[in-house]
Amino acid sequence: MPAQDGPWMEGGILNKAQGVHIGGSATLIAAQNYNVYPMVAQSDVSEKDAQLFEKIVEWLSDVNYHAIQADNYGKRAEGTGKWAFEDPMISKWLEGALGILWGIGMPGAGKTVLASFIIDHLLQKAKANKRICVAFAFSRYTDQFTGEKLLGGLLRQVVEDHPSTLQFVKPMYDHHCLRRTRPSQKELIDVLRAIFNSDLFDERYCTLDGLDEALDDTQVDVLDAFSNLPVNFLIMSRPLPLLKELVPEATFIDILVHDADIEQLIEEKLRRTRKLRNLVEKDDWKERVVKTIVEKSSGMFILASLQIDMLGECMHIKDLRSALEALPMGINTMYKVTMERIGGRPGSDLALRALTWLVYARESLMMDDLRHALAVNPTAFTYDSELLVDSETLLSACCGLITLETRTSLVRLVHYTAHDYLKSYLLKVGVDAEAMLAWTCISRLRGCGLQHENININFSCPGKGTALMLAANSGYHKIVKLLLQQKDIDISAATDEHLALFRVLGWNGE
């Protein structure tokens, strides 16, 4: 849901709720009474249609996959992934000889960065040749999507990059705007098929990374959709053996980390870690570091990266020798050691609260949202702007377990495996996540001036309505109890100022 800045405060988890209407969802109608006509292609959209063009593009999807692609590609260490263009299966797919190519790899094998590398290669080709169509999507456990949302995002890219395809979309747009409805998955597939079957393109490529992080129904919907489209389709995921039968014609390849890529990653990290770089320049320590990390990273980029971060705190050769010998093997062991490092540093409480937010929030958070949430005093539960920390301090306090996407300003856990580990870790150490999130949201509601009026609790509308109703119907009993105890805020109001609570409780406003 788009949000606008409001006048109350400078940033913060509730401020962008200003001017946003939270209403009921429109009924989704699978309209079948209009046709897509493949008219003669125009070279471009005329100037007078520019405003309409922008409206249709925004209507198709609010997901900016180009920004996500830019962030993912920016994580690539220079020189890594070049082996992909020498792989015979990937080369055939890039030449259009294969329909569906499915890359399977273990967690942390670098599938997302490799996908972004291949996407960048295709985008460069498409820039030079307008008869090449490229669209892509990324599935993330923090922002799970439906089949309709994915297809809308792909169609948006096609229209943005090739304005002449607007003619295929406009009948659908006119139909649904009149009725205030959204297109069904079948309608979106029909429009994409019409575009791909037209004479506009010689080559058509679609890529989806993270199919394993999508909802189960979405996984099936996506595979059904693309197995029936005339397009070269690349998938990246963990092994999903139960889904293979849905695409019997697919070609499967194993995505394995090459030692040369790990070495390139180490070189890049050393270049950015001056203290460690100076240490390893002595004698043969650089070779020892590279050899040990290659052996102990077990083919996982994420593990190698965290291992280098751990070595980066060494002050002298003796420290380095001990750290190399004790370097953890296995991703969960690495997470355990990293949490121990966090616990022994200043700002450990700040880091723990930040990690709690990122584990339990139901969608990705903006860095500014997280910073302001953490500025709530954890003992007095009052918002204090003097407790605000900058993003660099927060990233440092979390010792590599969180990452900031610079183009989207989203802050996320470094990997979904971190989410799985931290959820059990937080329970083990006694973090009361529901209480912390509830009190933080209540503090911000108070800070934004929300006052108690007439409380009218109505549970007859499950799944939407007030923050209290939503909490009750979602089984968040502790949050319900805390909300009921509040006498100075209107817990029955279904107003825009409840956006933070809606966000935590997993309701998207529809």
In tens, the pLDDT along 269-309 reads 888 888 888 888 888 888 989 889 888 888 788 888 888 88
User: Is 16 within the bounds of a domain?
Assistant: no
In whole angstroms, give the CA distance from residue 262 to residue 242: 31
What is the pLDDT at residue 344? 84
Domain boundary among 254, 275, 304: 254
What is the pLDDT at residue 476? 53
SS3 assignment, position 144? coil
Mean pLDDT (the chain, rounded): 79
Do 494 and 415 fall into the same domain?
Answer: yes
Do 416 and 270 fall into the same domain?
Answer: no
Tallying the residues shown for the chain, one arrives at 510
User: Is 182 within the bounds of a domain?
Assistant: yes
SS3 assignment, position 148? helix
> What CATH number did the domain enclosing 121 receive?
3.40.50.300
For residues 491 and 306, the model is more confident at: 306
Do 167 and 301 fall into the same domain?
Answer: no
Do 369 and 444 fall into the same domain?
Answer: yes
pLDDT for 116 beyond 50: yes
User: Is 62 within the bounds of a domain?
Assistant: yes
Two tokens at 280?
């390893």
Do 246 and 146 fall into the same domain?
Answer: yes
User: Is 391 within the bounds of a domain?
Assistant: yes
Where is average pLDDT lowest: 16-30, 42-56, 328-342? Answer: 16-30
Do 109 and 189 fall into the same domain?
Answer: yes
User: Is 17 within the bounds of a domain?
Assistant: no
Percentage of the chain exceeding pLDDT 90: 37
348-400 pLDDT, tens digit per residue, is 999 999 999 999 887 788 898 899 889 888 887 788 889 999 999 999 999 88
Do 438 and 354 fall into the same domain?
Answer: yes
230-269 pLDDT, tens digit per residue, is 999 999 998 998 898 899 889 999 998 888 888 888 888 8
Domain boundary among 301, 329, 357: 329
pLDDT for 436 beyond 50: yes
User: Is 157 within the bounds of a domain?
Assistant: yes
Split into its structural domains, the chain has a count of 3
- Across 13-17, 33-37, 142-146, 357-361, which has the greatest mean pLDDT? 357-361
Domain boundary among 254, 283, 316: 254
Do 412 and 498 fall into the same domain?
Answer: yes
128-139 pLDDT, tens digit per residue, is 999 999 999 998
User: Is 274 within the bounds of a domain?
Assistant: yes
What is the pLDDT at residue 144? 73
Amino acid identity of residue 408, one-letter, is T
pTM: 0.70
Do 160 and 289 fall into the same domain?
Answer: no
Quick check: 389 and 411 in contact, CB under 8 A?
no
The domain in which residue 388 lies consists of 348-505
pLDDT for 457 beyond 70: no
Do 126 and 272 fall into the same domain?
Answer: no
Q: Buried (b) or exposed (e) across 196-222, using 16+ Cβ within 10 A?
A: beeebbebbbbbbbbbbbbeeebbebb
The model's confidence at residue 482, banded by pLDDT at 50, 70 and 90, is: low
Two tokens at 109?
């094998």
Q: Buried (b) or exposed (e) across 253-276, using 16+ Cβ within 10 A?
A: bebebeeebbbbbbbbbbeebeeb
Quick check: 164 and 41 in contact, CB under 8 A?
yes
What is the pLDDT at residue 182? 94
Do 214 and 66 fall into the same domain?
Answer: yes
Where is average pLDDT lowest: 50-59, 109-118, 179-188, 467-476? Answer: 467-476
151-174 pLDDT, tens digit per residue, is 999 999 999 999 999 999 999 999
What is the pLDDT at residue 38? 40
Q: Buried (b) or exposed (e) across 41-75, using 16+ Cβ within 10 A?
A: eeeebeeeeeeebeebbebbbebebbebbbbbbee
pLDDT for 186 beyond 80: yes
Do 265 and 247 fall into the same domain?
Answer: no
User: Is 25 within the bounds of a domain?
Assistant: no
The model's confidence at residue 2, banded by pLDDT at 50, 70 and 90, is: very low
H or E element that contains 208:
strand 203-209
What is the pLDDT at residue 481? 60
